[in-house]
Amino acid sequence: MKALLVGEYRDGKILPSTYELVAFAQKIGAEAAMVMIGDTRTVPKFQGQLLLADAATYGEYNPDAHKKLVQEAVLRKNPDIVVLAHSSYGWDLAPRIANLLGAAQISEVIDYADGAFVVPVCNAKMRRNLKAKTAVTVVTLQAGAFGLAMEPEGTPDIEPLDIPDRVSSVELVSYEAAQKAAVDLSRADIIVSAGRGIGKKENVAMISELSEAIGGQLGASRPVVDSDWIDHSRQVGTTGQTVSPKLYIACGISGAIQHLAGMKKSEFIVAINTDRDAPISEVADVMVLADIKEFVPILIEKLKAVRRSL
């Protein structure tokens, strides 16, 4: 199989997801070339051909030009699959490429088995094995599903890539830096996070009390932050903070992929939930099937008693 990897470059840097594409190509035994809209001074560590277009010329976010550049790379390399990260860059660009090539797209691939691409369904409760009916398949890879066992290495053979048309129907105005997190959860040993399953805003105080009783920090999943129950600076997940504490207690968190990606490296994970099949169960060391409102106050009382006796 021949793969064309679409590397990611933003603000003068190679994004780490680029190496997940390389790991994927290695895992499935594909012969890989890479295409990137970047710059000659900042090339990825990669053994193989790199078709490189200049980001200063075409723009970092110019999907019209990027899709045509990838199309040009496809014409040159004739790949069976075009591989992107399932990221804000990849999911924005991949369908444009698929449409241009008349190709099927398979999104958020987590594995490759028996000649089919494996994807999650319904918040990862189920899996589906898919194949394309088209000659070329465009795939996007779930963040963190594939990783290199070793540090990336190699120096690519650079092949300049240009197209005559630079026109963009979308104008990138600026980047906005992330708000500096008031709370650095990445250094916490214990995190107790609240999800939508806690029911209502008033119950945040209870989870906060639990985090204090156990000597940890309060965290949150995206929905409770979007609902303004807890400040964004405490959000755990791909659009918040990535954490790896010694103990992570997830209260009423179903475990969306974006949340799991931000906390699954925690040393020990406890999930308190009423849904036995919630995706959080995939990463939980202990699943407590209980009603948060009934269970947490009892846990707090017993914790306080233990603390007093220590």
* Interface with other proteins in residues 160-189 (CB under 8 A): 169-179, 181, 189
Q: Which amino acid is at 224?
A: V
Instruction: Please state the closest distance from residue 163 (CB atom) to other proteins, in A.
Output: 17
* Interface with other proteins in residues 227-286 (CB under 8 A): 232, 238-240, 246-247, 254, 257, 267-268, 270, 275-278, 281-286
Q: Are strands 13-14 and 9-10 parallel, antiparallel or unpaired?
A: antiparallel
Pick between residue 56 and residue 286 the one whose CB is nearest to other proteins. 286
CA atoms within 13 A on the CB side of 25: 28
| Burial call 121-145: b when 16+ CB within 10 Å, e when fewer | eeebeeeeeeebeeebbbbbbbbbb
Which helix (H) or strand (E) element contains residue 13?
A: strand 13-14
* Token pair of 54 as six digits: 């200049």
Pick between residue 158 and residue 178 the one whose CB is nearest to other proteins. 178
Assess 290 for contact with other proteins (CB under 8 A). yes
Question: Which CA distances in Å does 13 have to 43, 58, 223?
Answer: 9, 16, 30
Instruction: Please state the closest distance from residue 216 (CB atom) to other proteins, in A.
Output: 8
Instruction: Please state the closest distance from residue 134 (CB atom) to other proteins, in A.
Output: 5
Distance CA 123, CA 137 (A): 23
Instruction: Please state the closest distance from residue 56 (CB atom) to other proteins, in A.
Output: 17
* Interface with other proteins in residues 1-20 (CB under 8 A): 10
Pick between residue 33 and residue 260 the one whose CB is nearest to other proteins. 260
* Interface with other proteins in residues 185-204 (CB under 8 A): 189-190
CA atoms within 13 A on the CB side of 194: 30
Assess 151 for contact with other proteins (CB under 8 A). no
* Interface with other proteins in residues 111-150 (CB under 8 A): 114, 116, 120-134
Instruction: Please state the closest distance from residue 269 (CB atom) to other proteins, in A.
Output: 8
Distance CA 33, CA 30 (A): 10
Binding letters toward other proteins, positions 78-97, x by CB under 8 A: --------xxxx-xx-xxx-
